[in-house]
Amino acid sequence: MIKFKSVAHPYARAIHEFAIYHNTLDSWQNMLHHMVYISKNINIKKIISSMSFFQQLSGFFIAVCGKKIDKYGKNFIKILVEKRRLILLESIYLEFIFLRNIHENITHVTIISAYTLDANQLNYIQKILEERLSKNIHIKCKINSDLINGFIIKFDDTVINLSVRHQLKNLLHFLQH
């Protein structure tokens, strides 16, 4: 996967810069997402693997994508097929999202809680994180009742564990030593 990422990065960077210049970040994200969705279909994969001519393959893939891609998206597919790198679509999409998040100063945060947090609690956590990190925060919530109470915040390589289970483990460790 690391090899895919390093090969996919220049493509994603080129698309990202092109999209910024033409103010089409949303459009490119939607097109790439659609291309990845199409490329993951098992029936499409079988058909693509049976095709041997580049023009036939790019024409088929463009036709399947339909009106959800513009002329620049079609050119992108032709280049990927010609370079035999259609397999990189998902990696290119993920790199594009990564570059877009950096450009827009967005950090995705996952909050794992023992129960569903209400809107006020989420807004408060979001506000604090935005102030501390100086970034726009997008929150994704998950429920894990094993936490007993409290929550865990994860973003980038950081984990902030504010769960009761974690506090009880620390207390147990403290009492044993």
pTM for this structure?
0.76
Per-residue confidence (pLDDT) for residue 1, from 0 to 100: 57
Query: Across residues 119-128, what is the average pLDDT?
Result: 95
Q: What is the pLDDT of residue 177?
A: 79
- Residue 155 burial (CB count, 10 A): 18
**Residue 152: pLDDT over 90:** yes
Query: How crowded is residue 149: how many other Cβ atoms within 10 Å of its Cβ?
Result: 13
Q: What is the mean pLDDT of residues 144-168?
A: 92
Please state the separation of Cα 157 from the chain's center in Å. Answer: 15
Q: What is the pLDDT of residues 10-68, one digit of tens each?
A: 999 999 999 999 999 999 999 999 999 999 999 988 888 777 777 788 899 999 999 99
SS (H, E, C) 12-59: HHHHHHHHHHHCCHHHHHHHHHHHHHHHHCHHHHHHHHHCCCHHHHHH
